[in-house]
Protein backbone atom coordinates (compact mmCIF):
# COMPACT_ATOMS: atom_id res chain seq x y z
CA UNK A 1 0.00 0.00 0.00
CA UNK A 2 1.28 3.42 -0.94
CA UNK A 3 0.97 5.91 1.91
CA UNK A 4 1.12 9.68 2.12
CA UNK A 5 2.48 11.52 5.12
CA UNK A 6 -0.25 13.44 6.94
CA UNK A 7 0.12 15.53 10.05
CA UNK A 8 -2.54 16.37 12.64
CA UNK A 9 -2.80 17.39 16.26
CA UNK A 10 -4.17 15.18 19.03
CA UNK A 11 -5.07 15.91 22.62
CA UNK A 12 -2.53 14.63 25.16
CA UNK A 13 -5.02 12.07 26.52
CA UNK A 14 -5.59 10.74 22.98
CA UNK A 15 -1.84 10.34 22.47
CA UNK A 16 -1.49 8.51 25.78
CA UNK A 17 -4.44 6.22 25.05
CA UNK A 18 -3.03 5.44 21.60
CA UNK A 19 0.39 4.69 23.10
CA UNK A 20 -1.13 2.30 25.67
CA UNK A 21 -3.18 0.47 23.05
CA UNK A 22 -0.09 0.18 20.88
CA UNK A 23 1.93 -1.27 23.75
CA UNK A 24 -0.77 -3.78 24.69
CA UNK A 25 -1.47 -4.93 21.14
CA UNK A 26 2.07 -4.60 19.74
CA UNK A 27 0.52 -2.78 16.78
CA UNK A 28 2.37 0.39 15.75
CA UNK A 29 0.54 3.63 16.50
CA UNK A 30 0.57 4.61 12.82
CA UNK A 31 -1.22 1.38 11.91
CA UNK A 32 -3.82 1.94 14.63
CA UNK A 33 -4.46 5.47 13.37
CA UNK A 34 -4.85 4.25 9.77
CA UNK A 35 -7.25 1.52 10.93
CA UNK A 36 -9.29 4.01 12.96
CA UNK A 37 -9.55 6.37 10.00
CA UNK A 38 -10.64 3.51 7.73
CA UNK A 39 -13.39 2.56 10.22
CA UNK A 40 -14.52 6.19 10.36
CA UNK A 41 -14.62 6.48 6.57
CA UNK A 42 -16.59 3.24 6.19
CA UNK A 43 -19.05 4.19 8.92
CA UNK A 44 -19.73 7.68 7.62
CA UNK A 45 -19.90 6.49 4.00
CA UNK A 46 -22.69 4.07 4.94
CA UNK A 47 -24.50 6.86 6.73
CA UNK A 48 -24.00 9.45 3.99
CA UNK A 49 -27.59 9.15 2.80
CA UNK A 50 -28.80 9.71 6.34
CA UNK A 51 -26.42 12.64 6.80
CA UNK A 52 -27.57 14.20 3.52
CA UNK A 53 -31.19 13.78 4.60
CA UNK A 54 -30.53 15.37 8.00
CA UNK A 55 -28.78 18.27 6.32
CA UNK A 56 -31.77 18.79 4.05
CA UNK A 57 -34.20 18.63 6.99
CA UNK A 58 -32.17 21.22 8.93
CA UNK A 59 -32.16 23.51 5.91
CA UNK A 60 -35.93 23.18 5.43
CA UNK A 61 -36.64 23.73 9.15
CA UNK A 62 -34.56 26.90 9.06
CA UNK A 63 -36.42 28.10 5.95
CA UNK A 64 -39.78 27.26 7.53
CA UNK A 65 -38.85 29.11 10.73
CA UNK A 66 -38.06 32.19 8.67
CA UNK A 67 -41.37 31.97 6.85
CA UNK A 68 -43.32 31.48 10.08
CA UNK A 69 -41.57 34.48 11.63
CA UNK A 70 -42.54 36.65 8.66
CA UNK A 71 -46.13 35.39 8.76
CA UNK A 72 -46.37 36.06 12.48
CA UNK A 73 -45.22 39.64 12.06
CA UNK A 74 -47.59 40.33 9.13
Pairwise CA distance, residues 47 & 55, whole Å = 12
Is the CB of residue 48 less than 8 Å from the CB of residue 54? Answer: no
Domain boundaries, the chain: 13-73
| Nearest alpha-carbon partner for 27 in 40, 18, 38 | 18
Q: What is the pLDDT of residue 56?
A: 86
Average pLDDT, the chain: 89
* Predicted confidence (pLDDT) at residue 62 exceeds the cutoff of 70: yes
Q: Is 11 helix (H, G, I), strand (E, B) or coil?
A: coil
Please give the model's pTM, rounded to 2 decimal places.
Answer: 0.61
Confidence of residue 49 (pLDDT cuts 50, 70, 90): low
Is the CB of residue 58 less than 8 Å from the CB of residue 64? Answer: no
What contacts 3, CB < 8 A, 6 or more positions away?
A: 34
pLDDT, average across residues 52-56: 81
Q: List pLDDT tens digits, range 3-22.
A: 899 999 999 999 999 999 99
Amino acid sequence: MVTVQYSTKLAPDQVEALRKISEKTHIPQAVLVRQAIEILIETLSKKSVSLDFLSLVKKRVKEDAGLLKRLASA
